[in-house]
Chains A and B, each alone.
Chain A
């Protein structure tokens, strides 16, 4: 029941928020509810067994019987940390929205909790149709979030985001249905949408031909996820959406929603279409590597801090995809770890950019300079997060990027080399931006504000503290986190061609 409670309780919270009579109560109530939910979510660790690759905490009941669709949720080492990260970021996002969301706070928090339901649902669903429903439904609250509280070009950005993502995922829907019909043919007449049954399918594949079933289905899934990740050249919605979204929207978008794409690759595209993925891996590796360098170069010339962070996301997501497509344990582990790191560091960067923007109403790098003198606390935190983002040792980013590079080099020297260039470029654009914003003489714009006003207040310190702690914790003791996922990742890497997932029973017998 734990997983269902995690998925659906936020809807109840949304109803509670909706029924609150006074506006002042909304924020504290939402914060309290999200903390309660986080504590509830940490309960997973009590029940989750380490060292098991099978699916745990499973709940399965028939739902749409004519399609063989089940309400089927479960968790394993791949989804575990994504779920925990989603839960942990929610209170921070609520705390971070304290001043950046000024109007229609009720609608905002209702949307946020609805979004939480859909995000957790996508990570926990083990039935393809159920996954699709959550995956798609997550667009609605985010659409409202960007469209209502966003910047001046919010409507263009939010419609582009919605339509672009939807086009990809509708193709995936068609592919899911094709797989469901295939289960009916291969498994005795009854359709099934369970991923566990999908893994058993024999999907015909002919190397070198375009129109073979597996290649087409693989591309239908891969394009949907590549748009979500986003991989170059499907990334064009991301800078618009990120820049126009309000701070909390950007944080969730970057930290969680992009991960739905990379998670989709790990959960579906890899194990379902191993031959096609292997055959076309060069293409994905190429566009990942290209995206790393392209994102970094474009980030370098951005005059707007938020845009810079947005393009750095394109580059970082390129790393994650490169790591996953190395198909070895280093790359896969690094990819998963980097998903969490990116969530923390980019989420933190968006929060920080939001904080300073609320004060000065400018995101132009050229308006800044010498911020370190005026706002020391802000500058220290920003620097720590920057270190994490450019993967300095002892921070979490280092562990992830190191593993990815290790994986990439073992798979292909050339792409490893390209990825390393990306590391240098990444350090270059971030540090250059830091130099221009924080050092040098105090800029005329900043001198208009008193230092007390510019620096962080207690709320913002509380907000950033957990993120800073996590950056070092994950950087120094990565095994605290990776131990929980190792078994599942090894299982995926070693059995890619014969992947199957069993349901873990508490008494020690693994059944299907």
Chain B
């Protein structure tokens, strides 16, 4: 096959190249240094430089929207925005990892290498116009993640978590690929911009095509942890080192939703005759919101609680996603609602996990909600940040979480998804109960001994403070 590409094509993939080149620097240095781990701060800075350079390159995409690399990659507003989001999440994860005991070990160079390559995989997914390319991106991201989880200096839970994630994620990938095979077989293309034209005729008329779409949807539902495909989330999130948990709960979820969105926008979900898949996805969304929020109530482990909260938030994003699918080409509002929600959710969740990372003294530390007792006296600022993140996740105005809810509710109501919004409202009220729990423990119950923020982790503290400011004010200002 004759592969041709222009300079512009190369320009489009330049962030990927930049990230890759920077990711191998620490590794190369380590090899030439007789396998001695370098200064983790330097390693992190090199990684950050790569991320900053890539962000700058993505920033130049403004005027070049279109399809590149023989129709494999698409650059549009969503691509650029998600590109920024992924870079931001990666940078924050780098900062957290440098100061977390579970990740700052003698494999930190490898860690940075894998993290940046996971980010490359993520960029490929969100830019892909070809389902096969997207699949390759997902696999690249996932492979890096398996190892990133297992690299933790914590011995037991992280290994279990890595293995669990590996098995279940591979299974989900297989289901996704199986679905894609059906789609390709019947539509004759894996390019999304061609699928737009062919899907409406096939969807609902051809049972095998519908089966393919459903299988692909199930595979994606696994990746974004929709109920009933969510069971892996709590264990994996708990076992993974906290910075990586933050990375998975925000970056990986955003990426999977981006792919989900692109598939949905190819109009494979709805056709004039068939509303079947819409109903299927609505039920998934309702179940996800309810089960996620109810399961989170009984969690005493902070990370597990946030894991279930992240499941519940997948349900809210699904509201926007379904609205986008139903609106089709008119769904500008719905698309923006999904991107907005994914972003604000990422900011709030990064902050919440950042605080946990701040409190983990050793690599085996596990923070329970009870450990927050007396936080308001010992670390008033940290307590305030936790309160802001919790209120944000609960969607209380004026935090940015409220504006996210406003966006997705508007998108869903615009498509007349009244019941979906009703269940969203009910589950938000349920969710409020457990989001208030840490605040009650920190401020209102009798004070006592508990976890402490490690004061030497200044970069993490600074990042957490910045995210808290964003959560509090970004909604009002933007």
Contacts and interface: CB of A to CB of B under 8 A. Distances in A.
Task: Tell me, yes or no, whether A binds B.
Answer: yes
Interface of A: 64, 66-67, 129, 132-133, 136-137, 139-140, 143-144, 147-148, 154-155, 158-159, 162-163, 166-167, 170-171, 173-174, 177-178, 180-181
A502 B416 CA distance: 32
Nearest to A133: B397
Nearest to A167: B429
A166 B432 contact: yes
A177 B439 CA distance: 30
Task: Count chain B CB atoms within 10 A of each CB in A158, A167, A174 and give the residue with the most.
Answer: A174
Contacts of A147: 439-440, 443-444
B422 A163 contact: no
A261 B331 CA distance: 36
Listed from nearest, the 6 A-B pairs whose CB atoms lie closest are A167-B429, A147-B444, A133-B397, A170-B425, A136-B397, A177-B410
B113 interface: no
Contacts of A170: 425, 428-429
A38 B429 CA distance: 36
Interface in B383-420: 391, 396-398, 402-403, 405-406, 409-410, 413-414
Nearest to A191: B410
Given A129-B406, A173-B406, A177-B410, A155 B432 contact: no
B436 interface: yes
B462 interface: no
Contacts of B440: 147, 155, 158-159
Task: Count chain A CB atoms within 10 A of each CB in B421, B425, B443 and give the residue with the most.
Answer: B425
Contact of B397 (A132, A167, A177, A178): A132
B402 A162 contact: no
Interface in B404-461: 405-406, 409-410, 413-414, 421-422, 425-426, 428-429, 432-433, 436, 439-440, 443-445
Nearest to A160: B433
Contacts of A154: 444
A66 B403 CA distance: 12
Contacts of A174: 409, 413, 421-422, 425
A159 B421 CA distance: 23
Interface in B301-329: none
Contacts of B410: 67, 177, 180-181
B394 to A, nearest CB: 8
B432 A148 contact: no
Task: Count chain B CB atoms within 10 A of each CB in A66, A136, A159, A177 and give the residue with the most.
Answer: A177
Contacts of B414: 181
Contacts of A167: 425-426, 429
A180 B409 CA distance: 12
Interface of B: 333, 336, 391, 396-398, 402-403, 405-406, 409-410, 413-414, 421-422, 425-426, 428-429, 432-433, 436, 439-440, 443-445
Question: Mostly helix, strand, loop or mixed at chain A's interface?
Answer: helix
16 contacts: A67-B410, A129-B406, A133-B402, A137-B396, A139-B396, A140-B391, A140-B396, A147-B443, A162-B436, A163-B429, A167-B425, A167-B429, A170-B425, A170-B429, A171-B425, A174-B421
Contacts of A64: 403
A330 to B, nearest CB: 37
Task: Count chain A CB atoms within 10 A of each CB in B333, B403, B440 and give the residue with the most.
Answer: B440
A15 to B, nearest CB: 14
A136 B396 contact: yes
Contact of A148 (B413, B429, B443): B443
B436 A133 contact: no
Contact of A177 (B398, B406, B445): B406
A66 B335 CA distance: 13
A147 B409 CA distance: 30
A17 to B, nearest CB: 15
A132 B475 CA distance: 14
B288 to A, nearest CB: 18
A158 B402 contact: no
Given A166-B429, A174-B421, A174-B425, A133 B413 contact: no
A133 B405 CA distance: 12
A117 to B, nearest CB: 10
Task: Count chain B CB atoms within 10 A of each CB in A173, A178, A180 and give the residue with the most.
Answer: A173
A163 B413 contact: no
Contacts of B421: 174
Given A155-B440, A180-B410, 19 more contacts: A64-B403, A136-B396, A137-B396, A139-B396, A147-B440, A148-B444, A155-B445, A158-B440, A159-B433, A159-B436, A162-B432, A163-B433, A167-B425, A170-B429, A173-B409, A174-B421, A181-B410, A181-B413, A181-B414
A167 B394 CA distance: 12
A381 B396 CA distance: 41
Contacts of A129: 406
Nearest to A164: B429
Contacts of A163: 429, 432-433, 436
Nearest to B391: A140
Contacts of B443: 144, 147-148
